């Protein structure tokens, strides 16, 4: 979209929500994520000025289990209104706004790059407490009323494995390690005792962090209903440790602190074996997502270098899966 038209339409959307005097200034694109184009701007309105983040659908197809940007905004809005540490959703775009799918949130200051969070000296004081913070935040997320959005998928584990396998096979690649992992998951399907609202992508890299610790959870596009162990395990997947592999929780903490804080904050009792099952699922899921990003680039659907780079990371997940399956025996 031409920049002048984009600015005019954004201004009109803001006036609809903040009044006729609302004015947009200092509009600038930020580094785009893999599935969203992100903009930052300042808004002057009757109640003062504020800095706002706008997330828009980046184009191309969505991964099969991802929410559209409108639904993601509504889910994050519900979470914010329930007191979850996540940026406040100020408005969700309508089709009539002419900007595509997206939503606007309050600006939150902090670091999101995982390799900095696990290494930079300025987070030395924050890191030891972050696993416990994660447990507390996840317990609050899992207590959300999942009936309200009415848009979240709710599959049994066996159905999730079958769905993921179908996505993998659609790319036409024969990956023996993936086949082995899928076989393990299919033969060891757990019995789920409770089904809760899941963030779906709660991990290092999707957290705003400052010198005091975690200040907000981002990226609710994978939210769904399921076993609480799935969220706990996803946080521990090796890809989200950013090289700090001796710290299984996001590269900054240990499992014991995570589980204890989760249970203390009202989460259901944690079964480490269930977490291990979902960790295999999580590593495999990230591998299939890497395949999907690579296919988007190779097919020409989205010719962005980031898609190709992520596609090459499939092999990393194969190593992680072999390590996990060897540990399980």
**pLDDT, block means (10 residues), the chain with 329 residues:** 88 95 94 75 91 86 83 94 97 95 96 97 98 99 78 92 97 96 98 95 98 97 96 99 98 98 98 98 98 91 86 96 95
The residue out of 57, 78, 106 marking a domain boundary is 106
- Asked if 237 and 203 count as a contact pair (C-beta separation under 8 A), the reply is yes
Indicate if 30 and 76 belong to the same structural domain.
yes
Indicate if 43 and 183 belong to the same structural domain.
no
Separation between Cα atoms, residue 138 and residue 199, nearest integer Å: 8
Separation between Cα atoms, residue 38 and residue 57, nearest integer Å: 9
CATH code for position 59: 3.30.200
Indicate if 173 and 72 belong to the same structural domain.
no
Instruction: Give, for 326, the enclosing helix (H) or strand (E).
Output: helix 314-328
Indicate if 82 and 130 belong to the same structural domain.
no
pLDDT of residue 147: 64
Indicate if 121 and 95 belong to the same structural domain.
no
pLDDT of residue 35: 65
Indicate if 267 and 161 belong to the same structural domain.
yes
Burial of 313 (0-12, 13-18, 19+ CB in 10 A): middle
CATH code for position 220: 3.90.1200.10
Count of the separate structural domains present in the chain? 2
Residue 26 sits in which domain range?
3-106
**Model confidence, pTM:** 0.94
Indicate if 244 and 189 belong to the same structural domain.
yes
């Amino acid at each position: 979209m031409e920049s002048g038209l984009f600015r005019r339409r954004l201004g009109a959307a803001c006036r609809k929500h903040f009044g006729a005097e609302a004015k947009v200034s200092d509009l600038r694109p930020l580094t785009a994520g893999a599935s969203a184009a992100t903009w930052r701007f300042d808004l002057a309105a009757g109640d003062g000025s504020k800095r706002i983040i706008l997330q828009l659908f980046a184009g191309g197809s969505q991964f099969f289990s991802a929410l559209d940007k409108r639904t993601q905004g509504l889910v994050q809005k519900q979470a914010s209104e329930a007191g979850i540490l996540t940026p406040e959703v100020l408005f969700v775009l309508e089709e009539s706004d002419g900007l595509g799918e997206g939503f606007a949130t309050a600006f939150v200051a902090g670091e999101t790059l995982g390799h900095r969070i696990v290494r930079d000296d300025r987070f030395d004081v924050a890191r030891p407490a972050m696993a416990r913070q994660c447990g507390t935040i996840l317990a609050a997320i899992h207590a959300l009323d999942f009936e309200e959005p009415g848009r979240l998928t709710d599959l049994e584990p066996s159905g999730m494995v079958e769905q993921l396998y179908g996505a993998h096979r659609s790319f036409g690649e024969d990956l023996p390690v993936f086949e082995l992992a899928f076989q393990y998951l299919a033969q060891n399907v757990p019995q789920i005792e409770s089904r809760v609202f899941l963030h779906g992508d709660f991990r290092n890299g999707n957290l705003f962090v400052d010198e005091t610790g975690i200040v907000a959870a981002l990226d609710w596009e994978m939210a769904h209903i399921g076993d609480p162990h799935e969220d706990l395990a996803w946080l521990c997947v090796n890809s989200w440790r950013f090289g700090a592999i001796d710290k299984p929780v996001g590269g900054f903490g240990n499992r014991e602190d995570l589980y204890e804080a989760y249970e203390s904050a009202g989460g259901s009792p944690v079964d480490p074996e269930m977490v291990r099952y979902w960790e295999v699922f999580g590593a495999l899921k990230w591998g299939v997502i890497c395949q999907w990003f690579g296919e988007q680039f190779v097919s020409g659907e989205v010719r962005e270098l980031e898609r190709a780079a992520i596609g090459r990371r499939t092999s990393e997940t194969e190593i992680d899966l072999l390590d996990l399956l060897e540990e399980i025996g």
